[in-house]
Structure 1
């Protein structure tokens, strides 16, 4: 794994050169020695900084500066990764030949080296004239130019040299700590930036596959791991299905199925644990160790994709070398997994919402189509006044009523209630309505019509689906009503303040294919009021779970019987609504009212 490097170069990105140089000035002044800070490539990061006049004069020329840097670089190269040593005279240049010491101390922490600090250019004894001349010549200075500075430069004692080394060692420890903190800070910034970028990227698309691909790729880039895979949970089979990968071969991906039940690693991750794998090929929990070895996978970490306590999959990262994930890396992986899980769930919810909206539009259109099957207004009839109301629970429903013009001026009147609600009921309703219209046109006897409709419903529906139907034929003069009631709520015939139920017929349609049906002929009188209704009228519930019931329905019919037929139906509906209050409507409601006119009385008048 790679990432922000532990080195002086990156420290300089955080601290200014001025700050580092000031720190070296303090060290140089305290030790009266010159100081140079080298990076891991052996290049000067800061310095040279002179701690005495001799070296200040040497540094005043380009040749002198190069002389000091070269000498200190030798010291740095010697001690790279080793304990500080004093360089022997025989390996020295002009400064070393003059008996000026230089030593280097590596800036290291936890086995990592950020650079080297070198300290020196003080003599162990007073400088000879020959040594001074050699330095002047190497630095490109005029003869005698360093004489006064050399005379003032005091040799350092072993105690002073040791103190200088200790001070330099302390300084390198501080630099190493700063480098480490800067490295960790850079990593945290990079990780936080990655989480932010991932959140931004994931929120910017509703394409689930793109979200998964982006997540896998960015996890590898941010965490500097070998590979990443994302598996989503198939709740039906318990299988973790591979949905996105980065830097894994087809051979490894096709190694075999992965199920939660058989894989303790993924099972723990689904429960919300961060599962660390030190060495995948030898870990007994690894389901395909040989394939992991072939793929070059060593260490790994598996976290669950969990949103609000619900697991949707797992996120896996793999390294190509042994690696112990830090708490920061685990936290980063968890943060990314949480973001990805939220995005996955949101995309799924959005897809479900769009599908629901599409379905809702289709249902609304189906409702429009179904309402076209319901008569927009009752037919005009000189002998009978007709009113009707229809209120489905949903856009589509299973209730319907119909008025069918028949030969010789007869009028077919039907009210039906299909079991169930919504789309299935509406489809059965449409089929029944079409069949009824066909049979009514070409079959005279109502009981035969019911038998044929029953066979039709039996052949077109599943077990448990059935239909109630009240079908009647009204004579042209409005004085005779022939009807058959197939398990429907018995219509109420109101005559002289008393109600007579019309229940002759048989069982519901769609249960017994060979069921028999009876018919009855009713002689109607002027002033009679006939109410046809579905069970939604009598089964309406209030907040006390009390049904409206037939007695209340009959009372409403009697209460409004003197009003026009349409108002009778509407007022009864309002009575039902007042009884129900704010309680939910649980079924469709259909009401059809037929009032027999007194045509003779009108003629006499």
Structure 2
């Protein structure tokens, strides 16, 4: 290294000029190989012309010199070769360094110390300036590294890669020896190691860091500030002192990773020598920790978004499979009109309906509503449908049939899982409907302009092993209407949090029946009235509506 790598030639010339003005010296600053880097003029520019004459310059036989060291490396030499004399006669223009200390100058230029001391003083000033230049350059490099790190963070999406990059960057930017990154587990009770740099595998696997046991990490989390450890080997707050001693760790700075007020984890930066982190180092480490927290959270959100999209894709596929379980069209029964409306709230629905062709020419009709929504409700719906179809072809007695389905669900489902179900069997020959209602929304039977609720049956299925059910048979007449629906119809909410309600369902059904609407017309009128009532309010439940009309 050469002095000009710290200070420019122009800066050195200004320094030499300033020093020579201050003490009327002739100075030179030399490189380690003797090249002149800066030199003061022999005839000094001064308003006092009496000191500008060549004969007034006194040259030392041996110049006073001081070598300049920066960071233990020789970068140059400062040399004082002579000085100017004013207001005094001298018989000699060349003196020794020892004698030169007694030279008498004018009052304003009086030298109180020897040339050797002067040159050492000037050497110290140059060294200090070099140190400052070196420090500024180091800070600029650190800030540049931090900027590069930030740009790199934005490009990385792999969490493991980001963790490791943060640990490595922290050491390189701050000039420390090692770094570890730990983040909270889901319960936020333990700090789990995610990455380390400059630490042995044995030290990394030394044991869990429980927040309740680690005083240092708890202090970081509670104070939300950096915590300094002068000596990891002896500090009583350190959880694994013996391991730190074997690893050779001494000083440490523990920094919280905070993103939008939430502490994501703690970064530990270590040195293997006693070290007091100054303000800039602490600020730098905090800055890196903040950038790291931002990058880690963003990467985590990115992966969560990918996972969420994957789940949504799987749910859409599952929804497609589920919808294929729903009959694509109603069966054709002579003398009957059948209309269906199915409006799921999500990709996976808890409502379902089914038509089951029975061996004796009868048609089984089922409308069910599974508790909850989403995957759990969809699976329970599939189980209910499978159980019903499995038993319907062999069990003719409806209470016995629903009891068998209830037992299957009770045995296989959780205590909180249950299903409401309306199941009826139409006999086209005898024009009868035999039904049982297992805790479901009562179906509506319109006969001669009057509405009757079909609510005979029992409780919901899947709750009790010993549930009992009953059935009812009604004889159907021409122009009679049967409406079976789930609670998504009467429980539709408007912007005033008012439910559509059964009364409005009844009124809309009677209005459509009174006009002589077909089964399809009655169903669509009910749906229109419900939507007109609810407006643009988002739906919170699935809707299934089956309308049957005798011709």
Same fold per TM (> 0.5)? Answer: yes
Q: Secondary structure at the match of 1:320?
A: coil
Residues 1:225 and 2:161 aligned together:
no
Q: CA deviation at 1:307?
A: 0.9
Match of 1:250 in 2: 201
Residues 1:584 and 2:538 aligned together:
yes
Return the index of the structure with the highest Cα Rg. 1
Gap runs ≥5 in structure 1: 1-6, 54-95, 132-153, 598-605
Match of 1:89 in 2: none
Match of 1:391 in 2: 343
Q: Deviation per CA, 1:224-282: give whole Å up to 9, x if none.
A: 11111111222426222222111112332233322222222111222321111122222
**Cα distance change, pair 125–497 in 1 and its aligned pair in 2 (3 A):** farther
**C-alpha distance in structure 1 between counterparts of 2:528 and 2:402, whole Å:** 33
**C-alpha distance in structure 2 between counterparts of 1:532 and 1:48, whole Å:** 102
**C-alpha distance in structure 2 between counterparts of 1:49 and 1:125, whole Å:** 27
Residues 1:187 and 2:177 aligned together:
no
**C-alpha distance in structure 1 between counterparts of 2:503 and 2:38, whole Å:** 109
**C-alpha distance in structure 1 between counterparts of 2:137 and 2:492, whole Å:** 69
**C-alpha distance in structure 2 between counterparts of 1:155 and 1:167, whole Å:** 10
- Counterparts of 1:267-346 in structure 2, within 5 Å, are 267-271=218-222, 272-346=224-298
Q: CA deviation at 1:555?
A: 0.5
**C-alpha distance in structure 2 between counterparts of 1:30 and 1:20, whole Å:** 15
**C-alpha distance in structure 2 between counterparts of 1:388 and 1:550, whole Å:** 19
Residues 1:162 and 2:128 aligned together:
no
Equivalent of 1:117 in 74, 78, 81: 78
Gap runs ≥5 in structure 2: 44-57, 85-89
**Cα distance change, pair 227–505 in 1 and its aligned pair in 2 (3 A):** same
**Cα distance change, pair 334–526 in 1 and its aligned pair in 2 (3 A):** same
Q: CA deviation at 1:509?
A: 1.1
Q: Secondary structure at the match of 1:567?
A: helix
Q: CA deviation at 1:503?
A: 1.4
**C-alpha distance in structure 1 between counterparts of 2:467 and 2:444, whole Å:** 25
TM score, norm. by length of structure 1: 0.79
**Cα distance change, pair 47–479 in 1 and its aligned pair in 2 (3 A):** closer
Q: Secondary structure at the match of 2:243?
A: helix
Q: CA deviation at 1:426?
A: 1.1
**C-alpha distance in structure 1 between counterparts of 2:161 and 2:61, whole Å:** 65
Match of 2:61 in 1: 100
**C-alpha distance in structure 2 between counterparts of 1:112 and 1:263, whole Å:** 43
Q: CA deviation at 1:192?
A: 0.8
Query: 1:499, 1:554 within 8 Å by CA — same for their partners in 2?
Result: yes
Query: 1:560, 1:571 within 8 Å by CA — same for their partners in 2?
Result: yes
**Cα distance change, pair 45–363 in 1 and its aligned pair in 2 (3 A):** farther
**Cα distance change, pair 122–514 in 1 and its aligned pair in 2 (3 A):** closer
Match of 2:517 in 1: 563
Q: Secondary structure at the match of 1:162?
A: coil
**Cα distance change, pair 373–48 in 1 and its aligned pair in 2 (3 A):** closer
Q: Secondary structure at the match of 2:488?
A: helix
Q: Secondary structure at the match of 2:64?
A: strand
**C-alpha distance in structure 1 between counterparts of 2:213 and 2:338, whole Å:** 70
**C-alpha distance in structure 2 between counterparts of 1:45 and 1:420, whole Å:** 88
Q: Secondary structure at the match of 2:209?
A: coil
Match of 2:8 in 1: 16
Q: Deviation per CA, 1:514-565: give whole Å up to 9, x if none.
A: 2222111101000101100111111222222222111111101011122121
Match of 1:466 in 2: 418
Q: Secondary structure at the match of 2:225?
A: coil
Of 520-529 and 501-510, more deviation after overlay is shown by 501-510
Q: Secondary structure at the match of 2:360?
A: helix
Which structure has greater helix proportion?
1
Q: Secondary structure at the match of 2:327?
A: coil
Query: 1:478, 1:596 within 8 Å by CA — same for their partners in 2?
Result: no
**C-alpha distance in structure 1 between counterparts of 2:74 and 2:228, whole Å:** 28
Query: 1:28, 1:35 within 8 Å by CA — same for their partners in 2?
Result: yes
Q: CA deviation at 1:179?
A: 2.2
Q: CA deviation at 1:101?
A: 3.9
Match of 1:35 in 2: 27
Q: Secondary structure at the match of 2:210?
A: coil
Q: Deviation per CA, 1:273-313: give whole Å up to 9, x if none.
A: 11111222222222222322222222111101111111111
Query: 2:12, 2:37 within 8 Å by CA — same for their partners in 1?
Result: no
**C-alpha distance in structure 1 between counterparts of 2:349 and 2:444, whole Å:** 23
Residues 1:126 and 2:92 aligned together:
yes
**Cα distance change, pair 31–445 in 1 and its aligned pair in 2 (3 A):** closer
Query: What is the RMSD computed on CA atoms of the aligned residues?
Result: 3.0
Q: CA deviation at 1:459?
A: 1.5
Residues 1:534 and 2:486 aligned together:
yes
Match of 1:416 in 2: 368
Q: CA deviation at 1:114?
A: 7.3
**Cα distance change, pair 110–158 in 1 and its aligned pair in 2 (3 A):** farther
Residues 1:446 and 2:398 aligned together:
yes
**C-alpha distance in structure 1 between counterparts of 2:265 and 2:36, whole Å:** 51
**C-alpha distance in structure 2 between counterparts of 1:339 and 1:437, whole Å:** 59
**C-alpha distance in structure 1 between counterparts of 2:178 and 2:295, whole Å:** 21
Query: 1:383, 1:478 within 8 Å by CA — same for their partners in 2?
Result: no
Q: CA deviation at 1:329?
A: 0.5
Q: CA deviation at 1:172?
A: 4.5
Q: How many residues align?
A: 520
Query: 1:538, 1:549 within 8 Å by CA — same for their partners in 2?
Result: yes
Q: CA deviation at 1:404?
A: 1.4
Equivalent of 1:260 in 207, 211, 234: 211
**C-alpha distance in structure 2 between counterparts of 1:525 and 1:155, whole Å:** 135
- Counterparts of 1:427-576 in structure 2, within 5 Å, are 427-477=379-429, 479-561=431-513, 562-576=516-530
Query: 1:125, 1:155 within 8 Å by CA — same for their partners in 2?
Result: no
Q: Deviation per CA, 1:407-460: give whole Å up to 9, x if none.
A: 232111111111111111111111111221222222222222112111111112
Query: 2:30, 2:38 within 8 Å by CA — same for their partners in 1?
Result: no
**Cα distance change, pair 37–293 in 1 and its aligned pair in 2 (3 A):** farther
Match of 1:352 in 2: 304
Q: CA deviation at 1:384?
A: 0.4
Query: 2:60, 2:81 within 8 Å by CA — same for their partners in 1?
Result: no
**C-alpha distance in structure 2 between counterparts of 1:327 and 1:33, whole Å:** 40
